[in-house]
Amino acid sequence: MEKISKNILNQVITPREPESYKGNYGKVLIIAGSTQFGGAAIMCSSAAIHSGAGLVTVATTPEKFTAINVKIPEAMTIDYHDKKALLTAIINNQVIAIGPGLGTSNIAKGLVKAVLNNTKTDQTVILDASALTIIAEEKIPLQTTANIILTPHQGEWQRLSNLAITEQIELNNQTNLHELNPDALLVLKKHQSEIYYHDQASKITVGNPGMATGGMGDTLTGIIAGFVGQFGFSLETVQAALFLHSEIGDKLNEKNYVVLPSSIIEKIPKYMAKFSSRDK
Ligand SMILES: NC(=O)C1=CN([C@@H]2O[C@H](COP(=O)(O)OP(=O)(O)OC[C@H]3O[C@@H](n4cnc5c(N)ncnc54)[C@H](OP(=O)(O)O)[C@@H]3O)[C@@H](O)[C@H]2O)[C@@H](O)CC1
Ligand SMILES: Nc1ncnc2c1ncn2[C@@H]1O[C@H](COP(=O)(O)OP(=O)(O)O)[C@@H](O)[C@H]1O
Ligand SMILES: [Mg+2]
């Protein structure tokens, strides 16, 4: 399997054009959070904003609005119980990430269906965490014509693919992904996470067990959303997002026994500046 090299960061992260504005860097909708899991919505949206997404809206439960507004004033909020506002947001955003901290309530199930039924070819849908559990449990087909990115950990991939963790080898992962949707991109999260897209398989060799902290995947989802919003959907864009997350994780782990998702988020803009410079 191909190893993703650090070069991917220089390749994907380009300097910004002076004549540009927030609308050029992606409108991202993050449908996340619930009574139990407010932090997931915060980490995911904060990661998207720190990764450079131009405009981020969080669709969540109103009880979390204040926490989000205080922690990330750059993010806008909408109530995901408000069907009309939600549909408008689904239609108006180029990138939609759904799942972190969403839980598996009937409301959450309706949200997943709303996204899959109302997105189109020029959009990207990132399905993570609870959204993946819902799709597996409810056997919801991945029928949208939008670009699809699935970001399961091994337990979520087991639910989706019916592959036990020991059976999650390249050929099986490839076959099962194509059965779910032949054009979907899979980020299989583990030590040395893997990416599958069409007939290509690649993996990172950065990342460390200090990163085994709740919220680390929610953070990755936000980085992927921010990158796709700015740099467009492609295998390389997702490879760069995955690499950056673990590259920062490794740097922090040199001096920190555990690596907090929030510490990674804080470092993203500095690292992006480093890799975007023209004289790399
Ligand atoms: N602060 C917040 O708001 C946070 C909110 N969060 C939100 O919580 C929701 C539930 O998500 P979740 O991932 O925590 O639980 P779930 O979907 O039940 O999966 C776990 C099952 O899979 C298995 N498993 C096997 N391999 C595995 C692997 N490599 N990595 C992980 N698990 C692995 C595992 O096996 P076990 O540990 O039992 O051996 C267990 O059976 C979701 O919405 C998420 O966004 C979290 O992000 C935390 C911070
Ligand atoms: N031992 C490890 N080595 C490298 N990366 C790890 C390790 N443990 C966890 N990670 C990374 O942390 C993230 C965990 O994702 P996930 O389980 O979805 O977290 P959460 O749902 O709590 O946000 C993934 O990106 C995974 O690759
Ligand atoms: Mg997760």
Could you read off the pLDDT tens digit of each residue along the chain, which spans 280 residues? 999 999 999 999 999 999 999 999 999 999 999 999 999 999 999 999 999 999 999 999 999 999 999 999 999 999 999 999 999 999 999 999 999 999 999 999 999 999 999 999 999 999 999 999 999 999 999 999 999 999 999 999 999 999 999 999 999 999 999 999 999 999 999 999 999 999 999 999 999 999 999 999 999 999 999 999 999 999 999 999 999 999 999 999 999 999 999 999 999 999 999 999 755 4
Q: What is the DSSP letter of 254?
A: T
Instruction: For ligand 1, pick from 156, 163, 165 the residue to mutate: most ligand atoms within 8 Å of CB.
Output: 156
Nearest protein CA to atom 6 of ligand 1, as residue = 101
Domain that holds residue 82: 2-13+24-276
Residue 18 lies in a domain: no
The ligand 2 atom at the shortest distance from the C-alpha of residue 218 is 23
Please tell me if the CB atom of residue 103 comes closer than 6 angstroms to any atom of ligand 2: no
Closest CA to 266 of 252, 250, 256: 252
pLDDT for res 277: 75
165: which 2 tokens? 């963790």
Residue at 19 is within a domain = no
As a whole number of angstroms, the longest Cα–Cα distance in the chain is 52
List C-alpha distances in Å: 39 to 102, 191, 220: 11, 23, 14
Token digits for 130?
């609870």
Q: Is residue 72 part of a domain?
A: yes
Identify the CATH number of the domain in which residue 141 sits: 3.40.1190.20
Instruction: Indicate the angle between helix axes 106-118 and 83-92, nearest 10 degrees.
Output: 40
- Is 262 among the domain residues? yes
Whether residue 221 has its Cβ less than 6 Å from ligand 1: no
User: Taking ligand 3, which is a single-atom ion, which protein residues have CB atoms under 5 Å away?
Assistant: 129, 217
Helix, strand, coil in percent for the chain, rounding step 5: 50, 15, 35
Residue 42's SS3 state is helix
Nearest residue (CA) to ligand 1, atom 24: 155
Paired residues of 195 in beta bridges: 187, 202
User: Considering only CA atoms, which residue is closest to atom 21 of ligand 1?
Assistant: 155
| Ligand 2 mean position, distance from CA 140 (Å) | 25
Q: How many domains does the chain have?
A: 1
Q: Residue 157: CB within 6 Å of ligand 1?
A: no
Q: Which strands sit side by side in the sheet containing 200-203, from one edge to the other?
A: 2-3, 200-203, 194-197, 185-188, 147-150, 124-127, 95-98, 27-31, 55-60, 76-79
Q: Is the ipTM of this complex over 0.85?
A: yes
Query: Is ligand 2 within 6 A of the CB of residue 208?
Result: yes
207 inside domain? yes
| Residue 201, domain member (yes or no) | yes
Burial 108-137 (b: 16+ CB within 10 A, else e): bbebbebbbeebeeebbbbbbbbbbbbbbe
Domain assignment of residue 206, yes or no: yes
Comparing CA positions, the residue from 1, 48, 10 lying closest to residue 170 is 1
Tell me if 187 CB under 6 Å of ligand 2.
no
In a domain, residue 193? The reply is yes
Number of neighbouring beta carbons within 10 Å of residue 144:
21
- The Cα–Cα gap between 175 and 228 comes to 25
In the chain, the amino acid numbered 168 is Q
- Quick check: CB of 47 below 6 Å from ligand 2? no
User: What's the pLDDT score for residue 279?
Assistant: 54
